[in-house]
Amino acid sequence: MLYNSAFMTTKFNVVLLPGDGIGPDVTYEAVRVLEAVEAKLEGVEFAFVEKPCGANEYLRNGDPLPAATVDACRAAHATLLGAMGLPGVRWPSGTEMTPQIDIRETLDLYAGMRPIKLYNQAHSPLKPRPGSIDFVLYRENCEGLFFGRKGAFDPQAPEVRDIMCISRRGAERICRAAFHHAMHRRKQVTLVDKANVLPSMAYFRGIFHEVAKEFPEVKTDAVYVDAASLYLVQRPESFDVLVTENMFGDILSDLAAGLVGGMGMAPSADIGDQHAVFQPSHGTAPDIAGKSIANPIATILSAALMLEWLGHPETIRGARLIEAAVAGLCNDASFATRDLGGSVSTTECGAAIAAAVK
């Protein structure tokens, strides 16, 4: 993973953006676990400050992403985000509020890193197979097919086009991030594209192969996105690091989450050269909000990614403590929130992980 080794501090300021729906429920469980970790670390402190953001903030003040919130994220060492957006709260044009995407673009968090790991075979809808599911998906976050998302929308127009933008800079940096990570794993990177059909994707593939020359130890292959969907289901254990454009990554990360228990088990990190935001891959899940049945593990594992990214030896140790606690508890298939077939509540799950860390 990309470390931020620039920090020489031991006091880390973390902005919390709980957001909407189940966002606050899962964020506060992650904070509970981080506080348990802090007590185990030598000389490291976390200072949390909560900032408003999301669809509810739009209803309150007319802006889902206040400038003061962005400034706080810029000034902090890292940001932990819950989830944002509500289907019933829309812009006059009809689209949903997506401040979590706006933050990625504003802070230039180009590397969407989504680790997919199976903690218990019972979580997977796949039949038991030799080898375990353990791969990382790198999604380009700032261009690709999301490039045109802010374009004007005219429902009366005779046609509407969305542009896929792949820039040399954007493709180079996301491929490099994936290769760097692979160097610390099983040294294999798979490009997912549609280079047989789209010129932008053929361009992406060319740049991928150029970047690959910088990493001669890493094995590479390239698959079309339709085939990738098939192989992820048929032989997920064969993947180490995957890299792809924005929309393909958006879709494949939900598919990948489904292999290991669903959205409640899929953490993510949005990383740039200066800043990073850590959040579960899932959305606000309005269908289960306010019932204490959301699975907080994705957010808690995102907090672990944050500790790793902070790059201090003690925060890296803290990340390992969280991973070990989650792995240990998940060994027992009866430790399961409702999405995993059990009845452990959101708060019970967070408390159990915090206790295991201690």
What is each CA distance from 289 to 21, 86, 231, in whole angstroms? 5, 11, 33
Under the criterion CB under 6 A, does residue 339 sit at the interface with ligand ATP? Answer: yes
Residue among 148 and 311 whose Cβ is closer to ligand ATP: 148
Q: Which residue has the tokens 């933008």?
A: 165
> 244-283 mask for ligand ATP (x: CB under 6 A)?
------------------xxx-----------------xx
Residues 6 or more apart in contact with residue 142 via CB below 8 angstroms = 104, 105, 108, 109, 110, 170, 246
Contact set for ligand ATP, span 285-314 (CB under 6 A): 285, 287-288, 294-295, 298
How many whole angstroms separate alpha carbon 33 and alpha carbon 354? 5
For the bound state, the minimum distance from the C-beta of residue 298 to ligand ATP, rounded and expressed in Å, comes to 6
Residue among 263 and 319 whose Cβ is closer to ligand ATP: 263
Residue type, 331: N
How many whole angstroms separate alpha carbon 27 and alpha carbon 21? 11
Contact set for ligand ATP, span 5-24 (CB under 6 A): 22
Q: Which residue from 246, 265, 245, 263 is spatially nearest to 254, judged by alpha carbons?
A: 263
Residue nearest to ligand ATP (CB): 283
The binder of ligand ATP chosen from 56, 79, 124, 284 (CB under 6 A): 284
Residue among 173 and 249 whose Cβ is closer to ligand ATP: 249
Residue among 298 and 301 whose Cβ is closer to ligand ATP: 298
Q: Which residues of 140-168 are buried (b: 16+ CB within 10 A; e: fewer)?
A: bbbbbbbbeeeeeeeeeeeeeeeebbbbe
For the bound state, the minimum distance from the C-beta of residue 114 to ligand ATP, rounded and expressed in Å, comes to 12
Under the criterion CB under 6 A, does residue 76 sit at the interface with ligand ATP? Answer: no
- CA torsion angle for 276, 280, 282, 286 (degrees, to 10)? -110
Residue among 212 and 301 whose Cβ is closer to ligand ATP: 301
For the bound state, the minimum distance from the C-beta of residue 75 to ligand ATP, rounded and expressed in Å, comes to 26
Under the criterion CB under 6 A, does residue 350 sit at the interface with ligand ATP? Answer: no
Size of the site for ligand ATP (CB under 6 A): 16
The binder of ligand ATP chosen from 18, 85, 144, 272 (CB under 6 A): 85
Residue among 64 and 264 whose Cβ is closer to ligand ATP: 264
For the bound state, the minimum distance from the C-beta of residue 25 to ligand ATP, rounded and expressed in Å, comes to 8
Q: Dihedrals φ, ψ of 239, to 5°?
A: -95, 145
Q: Dihedrals φ, ψ of 88, to 5°?
A: -85, -5
Residue among 112 and 264 whose Cβ is closer to ligand ATP: 264
Q: Which residue from 84, 105, 82 is spatially nearest to 16, judged by alpha carbons?
A: 82
Is residue 119 within 8 A of residue 327, CB to CB? The reply is yes
Contact set for ligand ATP, span 87-116 (CB under 6 A): none
Is residue 40 within 8 A of residue 74, CB to CB? The reply is no
Q: Would you tell me which residues interact with ligand ATP (CB under 6 A)?
A: 22, 26, 85, 262-264, 282-285, 287-288, 294-295, 298, 339
